[in-house]
């Protein structure tokens, strides 16, 4: 399962809900969701503790927010082609709002 999160962990509980409810797979952080993938963020410890997920962040969204140089260890940055590859690679996708 590809779990897609587009909301900041400071704005909504989408990340928390995903981590508590999803059974594993991958998490793709897009739009304001990329804030969770940055060093020192609210989401950093939560993502580090979520060992059952492979975590990805969309590079253009990190760059647009000036966060490209603050990505935490363990997060794979992907471009739009990588986003498409992740969707094709997983049997199902879930957007957490």
Q: How confident is the model at residue 69 (pLDDT cuts 50, 70, 90)?
A: very high
Q: Spell out a b/e string for 17-39, using b for 16 or more CB atoms within 10 Å of the CB, else e.
A: ebbeebeebbbbbbebbbbbbbe
Tell me the pTM: 0.94
Q: What pLDDT is attached to residue 97?
A: 86
* Phi then psi dihedrals of residue 48, to 5 deg: -65, -35
CATH superfamily of 2-96: DsrEFH-like (3.40.1260.10)
**Would the CA dihedral through 90, 92, 93, 96 be positive or negative?**
negative
Helix spans in the chain (H): 14-21, 42-49, 59-64, 80-89
The residue ranges of every structural domain in the chain are 2-96
pLDDT score, position 61: 98
Residues 66 and 14: their CA atoms lie apart, in Å, by 22
């Amino acid at each position: 399962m590809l779990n897609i999160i587009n909301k900041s962990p400071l704005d909504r509980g989408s990340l928390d809900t995903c981590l508590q409810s999803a059974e594993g797979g991958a998490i793709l952080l897009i739009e304001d969701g990329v804030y969770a993938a940055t060093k020192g963020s609210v989401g950093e410890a939560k993502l580090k503790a979520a060992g059952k997920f492979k975590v990805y962040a969309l590079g253009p969204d990190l760059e647009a927010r000036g966060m490209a140089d603050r990505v935490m260890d363990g997060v794979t940055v992907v471009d739009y082609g990588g986003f498409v590859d992740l969707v094709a690679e997983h049997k199902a996708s879930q957007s957490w709002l």
